Copies of this chain bind each other. A is one copy, B any other.
Amino acid sequence: MRPTVHDIAERAGVSLATVDRVLNDRPGVRGVTRAKVEAAIVELGYVRDVAAANLAKSRVYPLVFILPEGDNPFMRGLEDEVRRAGAHSLVERTQLSVVTVPAFDGRALAREIDSAIERAVAGIAAVAVDAPEVLAAIGRAREAGIPFVTLVSDLANSGRDHFIGVDNIAAGRTAGSLMGRFLGQRPGPVAVLAGSMRVRDHGERLEGFLAAMSAMPVSRAILPVLEGQDDPELSFQLIAECLAEVRDLAGIYSLGAGNRGLVRALAAGTGRNLCVIAHEVTDETRAALEGGLVDAVLNQDAGHEVRSAIRVLRAKADGLPVIAAQERIRLEIFIKDNLPSEPGMDDTPGPAGN
């Protein structure tokens, strides 16, 4: 049997309360006493039973996810995953909530962060916007001792505890590499559709894409980036225009969330046989992949990201270490043949273990 607090209390010749004090390093213990207890802990190889601890604390963990509002399908998918995780969360003493803020609005995000701090939540996960207000708000969360993770888009210098998302430069490189191979010797320029270059992850993807394309044996022109603001209508117009003007277009890389407009334009421009690579599996991209309109979709698993965020926030809240290998979000490549079946319908209701 594993050693318990009783064993270490006995071994150190102190009471349970004292053991508990040094375990949770709370004040009110003399240095000598503390040392004795710590020695006993090491000698017995004690590891705290987190389940029992949480039971005793009967602590609940209110966690808040702050996501951009609007009809960005990936973000709505993230939101769905949070709610789905919420269904299982009672068992894990975790209380999930979602709030949405206008996209790309640093001030609004900062306000929401402060509000969460006010409510004394146990952890915050947010899609970061690159703005000074946000940086400051994250700093305040840190000061309040509230764990903070960035989701999907990072803010590395903010002091956040963890970033949960993919390496976007590598994602861009992967897209470029696939595009180059799929096109082979075929001539013609490539277009890039982005949301906005003011968003960090979009910029990084472009950077990686350009690097990989220029490393290809066949050199190929990349047209000036089209910024569709992740808006379906604007994206549609930009792509439709491009298709009309550039008759020998060979491929399109859609690195943002403007896929609905992209797909509409592709469907209209019949028989062009382009190589198209997009990001995030959504209803639109899934259908386009299955229909042959899109050749590959790069994806980050929203469900994994949400569960990872929860695990990391809870670990930080409990002062536990994080299993890095488990929390690394992979960049998934999907083609028609390895597309997983529709999500959502495959979940089992009821309480669950983990």
Binding site for B on A (CB under 8 A): 2, 47-52, 54-55, 84, 88, 90-91, 93, 170-171, 173-174, 176-178, 181-182, 184-185, 208, 212, 295, 301, 303, 307, 311, 314-315, 318, 320-326, 328, 330-333, 335-338, 340, 343, 346-354
Q: Is the CB of B331 within 8 A of A338?
A: yes
Query: Looking at A55, A208, A311, A326, which has the most chain B CB atoms within 10 Å of its CB?
Result: A326
What distance in Å separates the Cβ of A274 from its nearest Cβ neighbour in chain B?
14
Q: Is the CB of A51 within 8 A of B48?
A: no
Identical chains in the assembly: 2
What distance in Å separates the Cβ of A324 from its nearest Cβ neighbour in chain B?
4
Residues of chain B contacted by A335 (CB below 8 angstroms): 174, 177-178, 333
What distance in Å separates the Cβ of A163 from its nearest Cβ neighbour in chain B?
14
CA A322 to CA B347, docked complex, whole Å: 8
Q: Is the CB of A330 within 8 A of B328?
A: no
Q: Is the CB of A91 within 8 A of B321?
A: no
Given A52-B55, A326-B307, A338-B171, verify A349-B321 contact (CB < 8 Å): yes
Q: Is the CB of A351 within 8 A of B54?
A: no
Given A48-B351, A49-B91, A181-B181, verify A346-B328 contact (CB < 8 Å): yes
